[in-house]
Amino acid sequence: MRRVVVTGLGAVSPCGLTRDSNWAAITAGQSGTGLITRFETDGWRVRIAAEIKGFDPSVCIGRRDVRRMDLFTQYGMVAAHEAVCDAGLDPDAPLGESAGVYVGSGIGGINEIEQGAIAVNERGPRAVSAFFIPKSLSNLTGGHIAIRYGAMGPSLCISTACAVGNHSIGEAWRAIATGGADLIIAGGAEAPITPLSIAGFSVMRALSRHHDEPERASRPFDVERDGFVMGEGAGILILEDLDSAMARGARIYAEIIGYHNTTDAHHITAPPPGHAGAARCMAGALRSAGLGPESVDYINAHGTSTPQNDVHEAAAIHTVFGEHTSSIAVSSTKSMTGHLLGAAGGLEAVLSVLALHHGVIPPNATLKNVDPDIKLDLPKSARKADIKVALSNAFGFGGANATLIFRRWSG
């Protein structure tokens, strides 16, 4: 097994349009959630989302190509461009046959699908865009990234709902570790804030209705949490074989040392009591990393702000870490970014790596009153800490669980 390191990071989220602006907002506890402005919601049960403001895809995409991409692909392209440049790679030099792309999405081009359905019903089949199919397909973000950077190695688009990002990064780690590639661009992208998507999650009663405090609507682990806030964006990492990265003199952020995935086999949306699947997933990731529970310093929790997920994830953490649980700082950055669905794992992996790199634990920024059934160390403001190992969880509908473990790079 070859060692795999992180050499580049890119992020687009409701908290910022770059890696650095996201980190600054997150550590300052700034929320990206608010009332929906993208479409009219008068009379709707849910009127809150975490929208990206001021996004400009022209930083790396030509005007003609923008029209051929759904918004989720544009987010993924911009985050990938930042990650490629951050890794010290020449964005205009083909990466070649030893480089791959593992970028997935939970929903894909839902905006294009929604608009296409309206067009065909109102104006007939000729009203549908010639780019309807390529704009809709989930794997086209990875396809566009591969074309742009000449990555001709392995390509994979995973779609496991909200676990997409972690699965993509974990499988990329596995591919590099076993010699299938030297470099992989990995993560997730999502743009689900549309009338149909909001309405669909709303009727499931999965979304928050704290309209009186929209900036605090996403409140993981709080006793008054009532659902998640839908967000959007992309999180992309450049993963490389350690020897290859060192040979080209790359700056290394962290090493990815563990990954595991499990399935609950319990319910299409709800976790089992105590979240046994998540516990098995975290325990498996620790085994793959060759670590004991006492080695973990920080957990970036899935922490969706839903009544069931948060309490069951906390129970799973106690199951795995036992008496060491009180020594682990836990935070959900969804308190600020909202839930990016298929992009959540990618963004949270970026933030976990930055937490290691800077020695700062992100806050649970909207937390006021901790649920008495949740007994974790939950910092309400950013905390300086000597973090050596960080674990990041992602869980998705259908019972999909994925856990990543990163170690601070010390040279």
Classify 101 as helix, strand or coil: strand
191 and 320, same domain (yes or no): no
pLDDT of residue 411: 81
The reply to whether the predicted model has a pTM over 0.95 is yes
Among 223, 247, 271, residue at a domain's last position: 247
pLDDT of residue 322: 97
Cα–Cα distances in Å, from 134 out to 14, 36, 75, 138, 142? Answer: 26, 27, 16, 9, 12
Q: Domain containing 380 — which CATH number?
A: 3.40.47.10
176 and 287, same domain (yes or no): no
43 and 23, same domain (yes or no): yes
Q: Is residue 221 part of a domain?
A: yes
Give the whole-angstrom CA distance, residue 201 versus residue 199: 6
Nearest residue to 142 (alpha-carbon basis) of 156, 121, 159, 161 = 156
Active site residue 318: no
310 and 389, same domain (yes or no): yes
Q: Is residue 292 part of a domain?
A: yes
pLDDT of residue 150: 98
Q: Is residue 166 part of a domain?
A: yes
Classify 121 as helix, strand or coil: helix
**Please, which residues bridge with residue 228 across strands?**
207
11 and 92, same domain (yes or no): yes
pLDDT of residue 273: 86
- In which domain, by residue range, is 400 found? 259-408
pLDDT of residue 298: 98
pLDDT of residue 165: 98
Q: Is residue 253 part of a domain?
A: no
Options 260, 302, 318, 357, the catalytic residue: 302
64 and 133, same domain (yes or no): yes
Per-10-residue mean pLDDT for the chain, 411 residues long? 97 98 98 98 97 96 94 98 98 98 97 97 96 96 98 97 98 98 98 98 97 97 98 98 97 98 94 92 98 98 97 98 97 98 98 98 98 98 98 97 97 81
pLDDT of residue 339: 98
Question: Could you tell me which residues come within 8 angstroms of residue 118 by beta carbon, excluding any fewer than 6 positions away?
Answer: none
Q: Is residue 252 part of a domain?
A: no
Q: Is residue 138 part of a domain?
A: yes
Give the whole-angstrom CA distance, residue 352 versus residue 299: 8
Q: Is residue 254 part of a domain?
A: no
349 and 325, same domain (yes or no): yes
71 and 92, same domain (yes or no): yes
47 and 196, same domain (yes or no): yes
Active site residue 302: yes
378 and 317, same domain (yes or no): yes
Identify whether the C-beta of residue 345 lies closer than 8 Å to the C-beta of residue 166: yes
263 and 233, same domain (yes or no): no
**Residues for the chain: how many in total?**
411
Q: What does the DSSP 8-state code read for residue 60?
A: T
Looking at 234-329, list the stretches that DSSP marks H as alpha helix, in order from N- to C-terminal side: 242-247, 276-289, 307-321
Among 247, 276, 294, residue at a domain's last position: 247
Among 208, 226, 247, residue at a domain's last position: 247
Active site residue 144: no
Options 144, 162, 281, 312, the catalytic residue: 162
> Looking at the 3D structure of the chain, how many domains does it have?
2
pLDDT of residue 274: 85
The counts of H helices and E strands in the chain are 13, 14
177 and 290, same domain (yes or no): no
Q: Is residue 108 part of a domain?
A: yes
SS3 content of the chain, % helix, strand, coil (to 5): 40, 20, 40
